[in-house]
């Protein structure tokens, strides 16, 4: 299978290469794709240096699969071009997520919606992925009515420039700023740009993407905050259900849900943290407790590595699902 990684020299693109290799995805030929300014660079894959090529050259090579992590503008322009040559695109940007004719997929939650005709498939936002992973089994059992979520998001969600800003500040070095304020020893109550309603785009992604993946009737309100962490995103989630729940039943559902690790023993100081989630693919859930201010309402704490399950791993899992269901075939087999 001929696989292109578009944005291969970026933070998420590098993790995509790592995850493809770790999970032994059937890559016969890898195309490492990036912008013209990356010409002459190479990336490491399966012990070999792979020369980076431009996007036109990648399209001419007619890959079977393209994993995109190059930003929304690039995806809007180039994903259809890849699709035109018979390639299936899995896009990590926000470009296609809310298009009515494009699937927004977390394999453990709604992978069943995929069909062979899907040529551009959207990867959800990192903070959405980990939240719907935990909510999906509970929604099925109790009916999620309303969600209040506050996120504590790592600087890796912004990109390499933000990671460098944090490292520079910790070393006392003046350098380029990804944020309008220092991030070390600080929290910034803004992820992405503000919209007309006073919420940021990141906050609105949590609203509309959760509704598209799980249920359009679920009411969601969000506050997204950037914190000086590199290992993953954390979320404090308050969930109101239509039906009454038993706390031990909730624990058992989460304990057995695919892709979830329940870490919920406060007496032993066992609860999810970015240090635990870093470089792992699971979504970690803990701090389960009733909201004592109103009925049928649960508090929980959710943590995941935003570069892996929140981005690269979820994209590769979509590709694996396509292969396993016979929905992604090599172009050579169609000739």
Catalytic: which of 139, 191, 233, 278? 233
Within 13 Å of residue 158, how many CA atoms lie on the same side as its CB? 27
Torsion of CA 103, 104, 108, 112, to 10 degrees: -10
Is residue 278 annotated as part of the catalytic site, yes or no? no
Catalytic: which of 126, 139, 191, 278? 126
Alpha carbon distances (Å) from 141 to 47, 64, 114, 146, 250: 46, 38, 24, 15, 9
- Contact partners, residue 27, CB within 8 Å, separation at least 6: 1, 3, 20, 45, 46
List the beta strands (DSSP E) in the chain: 2-6, 29-33, 42-45, 48-53, 65-68, 88-91, 120-122, 144-153, 219-226, 233-241, 260-262, 283-290, 297-304
User: Rounded distance, CA 103 to CA 319, Å?
Assistant: 13
Handedness of CA 220, 223, 226, 231 (dihedral sign): negative
Is residue 126 annotated as part of the catalytic site, yes or no? yes
| Catalytic residue list | 126, 233
């Amino acid at each position: 299978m001929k696989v292109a990684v578009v944005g291969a020299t970026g933070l998420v693109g590098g993790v995509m290469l790592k995850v493809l290799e770790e999970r032994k995805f059937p890559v016969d030929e890898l195309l490492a794709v990036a912008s013209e300014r990356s010409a002459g660079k190479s990336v490491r894959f399966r012990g070999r240096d792979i020369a980076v090529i431009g996007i036109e050259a990648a399209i001419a090579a007619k890959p079977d699969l393209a994993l995109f992590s190059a930003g929304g503008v690039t995806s809007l322009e180039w994903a259809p071009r890849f699709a035109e040559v018979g390639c299936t695109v899995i896009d990590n940007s926000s470009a296609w997520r809310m298009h009515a004719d494009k699937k927004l997929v977390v394999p453990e939650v709604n992978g069943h919606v995929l069909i062979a005709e899907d040529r551009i498939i959207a990867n959800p936002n990192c903070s959405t992925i980990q939240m719907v992973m935990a909510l999906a089994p509970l929604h099925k059992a109790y009916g999620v009515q309303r969600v209040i979520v506050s996120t504590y998001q790592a600087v890796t969600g912004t990109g390499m420039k933000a990671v460098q800003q944090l490292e520079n500040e910790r070393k006392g070095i003046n350098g380029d700023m990804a944020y309008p304020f220092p991030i070390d020893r600080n929290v910034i109550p803004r992820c992405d740009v503000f919209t007309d309603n006073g919420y940021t785009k990141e906050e609105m992604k949590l609203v509309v993407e959760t509704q598209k993946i799980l249920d359009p009737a679920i009411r969601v309100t969000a506050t997204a905050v950037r914190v000086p962490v590199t290992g993953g995103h954390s979320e404090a989630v308050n969930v109101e259900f239509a039906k009454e729940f038993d706390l031990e039943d909730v624990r058992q559902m989460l304990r057995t849900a695919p892709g979830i690790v329940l870490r919920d023993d406060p007496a032993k100081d066992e609860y999810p943290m970015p240090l635990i989630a870093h470089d792992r693919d699971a979504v970690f859930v803990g701090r389960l407790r009733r909201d004592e201010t109103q009925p049928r309402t649960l508090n929980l704490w959710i943590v995941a590595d935003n570069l892996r399950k929140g981005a690269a791993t979820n994209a590769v899992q979509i590709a694996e699902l396509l292969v396993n269901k016979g929905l992604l075939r090599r172009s050579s087999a169609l000739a």
